Amino acid sequence: MPTAVLLISCPDRPGLVHAVAEFVLAANGNVLHAEQHVDREAGVFFQRVEFELDEATLGRDQVATAFAPVANRFGMHADVHFSDERPRIAVLASREAHCLGDLLGRWRAGELPAEIVAVISNHADHAALATFSGVPFHHLPVTPDTKAAQEAALVELLRGYRVELVVLARYMQVLTSTVLDAFPAQIINIHHSFLPAFVGARPYHQAQQRGVKLIGATAHYATADLDEGPIIAQDVEPVSHRDSVADLIGKGRDLETVVLARAVRAHVEHRTLVFGNKTIVFG
Amino acid sequence: MPTAVLLISCPDRPGLVHAVAEFVLAANGNVLHAEQHVDREAGVFFQRVEFELDEATLGRDQVATAFAPVANRFGMHADVHFSDERPRIAVLASREAHCLGDLLGRWRAGELPAEIVAVISNHADHAALATFSGVPFHHLPVTPDTKAAQEAALVELLRGYRVELVVLARYMQVLTSTVLDAFPAQIINIHHSFLPAFVGARPYHQAQQRGVKLIGATAHYATADLDEGPIIAQDVEPVSHRDSVADLIGKGRDLETVVLARAVRAHVEHRTLVFGNKTIVFG
Amino acid sequence: MPTAVLLISCPDRPGLVHAVAEFVLAANGNVLHAEQHVDREAGVFFQRVEFELDEATLGRDQVATAFAPVANRFGMHADVHFSDERPRIAVLASREAHCLGDLLGRWRAGELPAEIVAVISNHADHAALATFSGVPFHHLPVTPDTKAAQEAALVELLRGYRVELVVLARYMQVLTSTVLDAFPAQIINIHHSFLPAFVGARPYHQAQQRGVKLIGATAHYATADLDEGPIIAQDVEPVSHRDSVADLIGKGRDLETVVLARAVRAHVEHRTLVFGNKTIVFG
Amino acid sequence: MPTAVLLISCPDRPGLVHAVAEFVLAANGNVLHAEQHVDREAGVFFQRVEFELDEATLGRDQVATAFAPVANRFGMHADVHFSDERPRIAVLASREAHCLGDLLGRWRAGELPAEIVAVISNHADHAALATFSGVPFHHLPVTPDTKAAQEAALVELLRGYRVELVVLARYMQVLTSTVLDAFPAQIINIHHSFLPAFVGARPYHQAQQRGVKLIGATAHYATADLDEGPIIAQDVEPVSHRDSVADLIGKGRDLETVVLARAVRAHVEHRTLVFGNKTIVFG
């Protein structure tokens, strides 16, 4: 039996949990998971409810319409997803293969409830890896002069694939609003430091220079403010004075792959909600 | 405004979440947190609901009675707690002071929503520490010959203090059913290994002998099967070939204090539910 | 300039560090790293010394001979390795691809100072993955009846490749002395629990049954006592009551790949020394 | 038998390891631990050598003199320490007790090879805690107007106690050069974030604002550049959208105590060497 996921946000007030539970019960659904959060400062209520859907009682095409009265009554923003509809992902990479290879490997192993529909790169290196995984590869080279055209082509390509999530798997090009605005809260980037430390280029060099005893990686939604978008996942690894920049880069690779995979999984399982500059990640 | 916590378990079926939400709404309460879990194999539903209690609408003495029809209808076992009623704790220790000192320090700093009402030990060592913290100290020495009498005295003492949680903070005596049966699921022990590895005595010696690269600590509810009770919290720390048994013991102290404190906090915040030999720990 | 690594063990006594340093100095070498360890209970000294080798003064073929007088004087067991001689690895896998795929990916990315010369499996599944990585694939199916013959063929194959390290990357066959004796302290296995907890089959099922709050993985040298060999690396990951066995298996995959890769790297960088049932892992 | 520790830094060149080993051997010492590090960019060699001292052959008062020829020959800066000479520590705190209480508890338990000779605070709160631990307490209140005089009094007090390490255990006053210059590389501060993120005041508020998924703590040597001194130890803890600033502060306390204790221990075990803005922390 497929499950439905409701992702809800609205002004906080009593009765919200009850109203949603009532809707699920009336639809003959069975709640599997429900988790809510209240941002007390902002007075906003957030909820993720996953329930077994009885399509004989309520077809999936009817869920949004049936829920509309509840949503209207409480001023809810509500998204509905179904467990057997797998989000369509494009993975963008530059020269480094570790994040891309890891995501493709997880996907081939059935670990990601999603479809990787395209691999796109500004370099030609990963064609064989994509092909081996049975995913179309697109080479979109870019120079400062061609950046505008390349981004336009990128957006067109992503739209052609009906992509719902763009994963920047160490894609080393800064995206402009051309791309960012076309996929709001749908682009996940991996930054190779524990943000907000070491923004910008060469964070491992910065880390080595500062003599930190931890390095980190941060997965976040990409926004116009580079490295300032809502954080989804972070992790760190101990390092020491013995670690050269090359060592940090090596250790960092493992962090980057794991943190990015964790963020992608949270997104495609519909466990993330962006509010302002923060991400609520349901368990 | 105080909050009420409902801890519920019952056979799983549709409508449970709705029924509880309806009860809270009818009582003019406002749900702050609600988390549920279904053990699919056993077909059992567990829920923790924390809500702001409007005592003008429903007095705290009436909550259990008012909830009884819901509980009966669904065959629920339900406990109710209030945030301003602080569980009464007795801490038992033997020679080592680190867990006891840590708990007392947290309590003095206001970190534990509970009252430490007594410190009890089979040695006299910690009298000054207890007194400094303003907690009565009781010395209950024990030998193999006096064990039965000592345990009887211990139970009487705990009952006299109306103790709701007994914390074995490196209390190195094995408790018999005399004590265990008097406080079911109300005794938390800290074992100095990551169970189920290294049960019994001298786990750090066992760990050094086996050459493990991690040591751990486990907080669990004490049961008749030594070191086999439901686990509440666990953590580990890396070690290496350089660590002597003394080093392991030193590193282990930090683990033990942190893991025990985490478990005690979960219990007194009414976030734990024991089911069979497992503990559900709500977030 | 290539570096040489001396791995030394001998009865402890004064003058050992000096004698080795004198040898390196006389050879016009420059010590890059030196780390020693004394097992005080056993009275045994262990050392790893890495030094820049001046082949004009001492050719690499002469190092062992030149060091022999020092080794004899102190009763040392000494191995010598060179940084530009890459150990030859065979990876054995069964159905699951995650550890195999991870090792191949690291190797393709230049992260492993070694050569993966063969992938061998009792199933045919991974032929494409091996081929994609440019590594010969061998399918050696096995049944209870053919086990002796299969192991003999396996040893012959490994010897034909002049393999120096056998990595059991979730190879689900128990090896007998036919294979174990042919590659002493040269076979690394990954076990999917934090040993010594949950030895044997289905450790994630055992973990779920016991209600632990951590799962782990252990890389160890394979010996005749299943899951009892000298531990090289271990790590854990938090889990909760919400995790099904399938969830544990999924989380465990990441642990297994990272822990196995860490152990393989330590071995091929000549940072491991087995003593009794323990592994000294130099930093 | 007491041990001696040599902490050495000098320009890198061949023969250093040999020269030190030769000195120890000539003194009839036995090397227990030796660890070295080369900063290749700077061309500087660092070493920590711990050896059993045979005072019949070389008295502890003679070690420095006996080593001087070696030090001069190689341009070494060398410090010598003895395991039975316990560094004298003053702990400074403001209102919060957790780091102070933790250090005193460890010291009472015999975990710190040092003497805590004084507790000093700008508030009167911790007098009882210090007294309970048998340590003199000094109340040195401070206002903007009296800061210069208070710092002068502080330096005088520290000198009167012949303090060798000043631990800022959540001492919330910024120290000027009056104090800093009097104790170079002898003042350890705990900052409640993973530096370089969230420098300055209220890091937990900053962390909550930024929506990070980790909080951290950093122990570092205090320098004129606030929060920019050489880092000794860092650690982090996962947090989520559910954590209020108060929750972060609570979780942070555990991090702060553990990280500060780790740094203090490394210092009093003579395992730290400051070079430029980095700290080498030997294992």
Domain shared by D129 and D249, yes or no: yes
Under 8 Å between Cβ of C88 and C162: yes
Domain shared by D10 and D109, yes or no: no
The domain total for chain C is 2
Closest residue in A to D197 (Cα–Cα): A197
Is pLDDT above 90 for B1? Answer: no
Task: Tell whether D113 is within 8 A of chain B (Cβ).
Answer: no
B102 is catalytic: no
Phi first, then psi, for residue B59 (nearest 5°) are -65, 155
**CA–CA distance, D218 with D168 (Å, rounded to integer):** 12
**CA–CA distance, A260 with D264 (Å, rounded to integer):** 35
B chain contacts of residue D105, beta-carbon cutoff 8 Å: 97-98, 101-102, 105
- Three-state DSSP class for residue A225: coil
Cis omega before residue B196 (within 30°)?
A: yes
Domain shared by A151 and A174, yes or no: yes
Domain shared by B24 and B109, yes or no: no
pLDDT confidence of residue C260: 98
Against chain D, the chains showing at least 3 CB pairs within 8 Å are A, B, C
Task: Tell whether A274 is within 8 A of chain D (Cβ).
Answer: no
Domain shared by A242 and A141, yes or no: yes
Q: Going by DSSP bridges, is the β-strand pair D30-39/D44-52 parallel, antiparallel, or unpaired?
A: antiparallel
Cis omega before residue A196 (within 30°)?
A: yes
In tens, the pLDDT along C121-166 reads 999 999 999 999 999 999 999 999 999 999 999 999 999 999 999 9
In tens, the pLDDT along A223-236 reads 999 899 999 999 99
Domain shared by B204 and B220, yes or no: yes
Helix (H) or strand (E) holding B268: helix B245-268
Under 8 Å between Cβ of D86 and D115: yes
Domain shared by A26 and A142, yes or no: no
Comparing C-alpha atoms, which of B134, B139, B136, B138 is closest to residue B107?
Answer: B134
Under 8 Å between Cβ of A119 and A130: yes
Query: Which candidate from C250, C261, C283 shows the least CB-CB separation from A111?
Result: C250
Radius of gyration of chain A (CA): 20
pLDDT confidence of residue C226: 85
Under 8 Å between Cβ of C275 and C44: yes
- Give ∠ CA C92-C94-C98 in degrees, rounded to 5: 85
pLDDT confidence of residue C201: 87
**Cβ burial C70-104 (10 Å sphere, 16+ → b, else e):** bbeebebebebbebeeebbbbbbbbebbbbbbbbb
**CA–CA distance, B1 with B8 (Å, rounded to integer):** 23
Among B30, B54, B82, the domain-final residue is B82
Domain shared by C64 and C110, yes or no: no
Domain shared by D112 and D63, yes or no: no
Fill in the amino acid letter for D81: H
pLDDT band at B201 (very low <50, low <70, confident <90, very high): confident
Among B49, B82, B115, the domain-final residue is B82
Residue B225 CB neighbour total at 10 angstroms: 9
A203: exposed, middle or buried (Cβ count in 10 Å: 0-12, 13-18, 19+): buried
CATH code: domain of residue C96: 3.40.50.170
Task: Tell whether B38 is within 8 A of chain A (Cβ).
Answer: yes
B chain contacts of residue C196, beta-carbon cutoff 8 Å: 197-198, 210, 212
Under 8 Å between Cβ of B232 and B220: yes
Chain A nearest C-alpha distance from C23 (Å):
25
Q: Going by DSSP bridges, is the β-strand pair C115-121/C88-93 parallel, antiparallel, or unpaired?
A: parallel
Domain shared by A207 and A69, yes or no: no
pLDDT confidence of residue D48: 97
Q: What is the 3-class SS of chain D, one letter each residue? A: CCEEEEEEEEECCCCHHHHHHHHHHHCCCEEEEEEEEEECCCCEEEEEEEEECCCCCCCHHHHHHHHHHHHHHHCCEEEEEECCCCCEEEEEECCCCHHHHHHHHHHHCCCCCCEEEEEEECCCCCHHHHHHCCCCEEECCCCHHHHHHHHHHHHHHHHHCCCCEEEECCCCCCCCHHHHCCCCCCEEEEECCCCCCCCCCCHHHHHHHHCCCEEEEEEEECCCCCCCCCEEEEEEEECCCCCCHHHHHHHHHHHHHHHHHHHHHHHHCCCEEEECCEEEECC
Chain C nearest C-alpha distance from D165 (Å):
29
Among A32, A56, A82, the domain-final residue is A82
Query: Which candidate from C132, C258, C261 shows the least CB-CB separation from A132?
Result: C132
Task: Tell whether B105 is within 8 A of chain D (Cβ).
Answer: yes
Tell me what ipTM this predicted complex has.
0.94
What is the percent of chain A where pLDDT is above 70? 100
- What stretches in chain D show pLDDT beneath 70? none
Is pLDDT above 90 for C1? Answer: no
- Three-state DSSP class for residue C86: coil
CATH code: domain of residue A22: 3.30.70.260
pLDDT confidence of residue B226: 85
Under 8 Å between Cβ of B248 and B219: no
**CA–CA distance, C241 with C239 (Å, rounded to integer):** 7
Comparing C-alpha atoms, which of D89, D97, D88 is closest to residue D123?
Answer: D97
Residue numbers of the domain that contains D44: 3-82
Task: Tell whether B261 is within 8 A of chain C (Cβ).
Answer: no
pLDDT confidence of residue D1: 81
* Strand ranges (E), A40-98: 44-52, 77-82, 88-93
Domain shared by B142 and B199, yes or no: yes
- Three-state DSSP class for residue A253: helix
Chain B nearest C-alpha distance from C209 (Å):
8
Average pLDDT over residues A102-121: 96
Domain shared by C43 and C16, yes or no: yes
**CA–CA distance, A66 with C4 (Å, rounded to integer):** 73
Under 8 Å between Cβ of A80 and A70: no
From the list B39, B227, B247, B254, the catalytic residue is: B227
Average pLDDT over residues B184-204: 95
**CA–CA distance, C145 with C43 (Å, rounded to integer):** 46
- Residues linked to residue A278 through DSSP beta bridges, in sequence order: A275
Comparing C-alpha atoms, which of C281, C275, C229 is closest to residue C12?
Answer: C275
B chain contacts of residue C279, beta-carbon cutoff 8 Å: 211, 241
pLDDT confidence of residue A1: 82
Report H helices in A30-163.
63-74, 98-108, 127-132, 147-160
Helix (H) or strand (E) holding B201: none
pLDDT confidence of residue D240: 96
Against chain B, the chains showing at least 3 CB pairs within 8 Å are A, C, D
Comparing C-alpha atoms, which of D125, D127, D170, D130 is closest to residue D260?
Answer: D170
Tokens of residue A206, six digits: 């910065």
In tens, the pLDDT along C235-280 reads 999 999 999 999 999 999 999 999 999 999 999 999 999 999 999 9
Task: Tell whether B144 is within 8 A of chain C (Cβ).
Answer: no
Q: What is the 3-class SS of B19-81, one letter each residue? A: HHHHHHHHCCCEEEEEEEEEECCCCEEEEEEEEECCCCCCCHHHHHHHHHHHHHHHCCEEEEE
Task: Tell whether B229 is within 8 A of chain A (Cβ).
Answer: no
Chain C nearest C-alpha distance from D240 (Å):
15
Handedness of CA D24, D29, D31, D33 (dihedral sign): negative
Pairwise CB contact (< 8 Å): D212 & A230:
no
**Strand D165-168's sheet: what is its strand order?**
D137-139, D115-121, D88-93, D165-168, D187-191, D214-221, D231-238
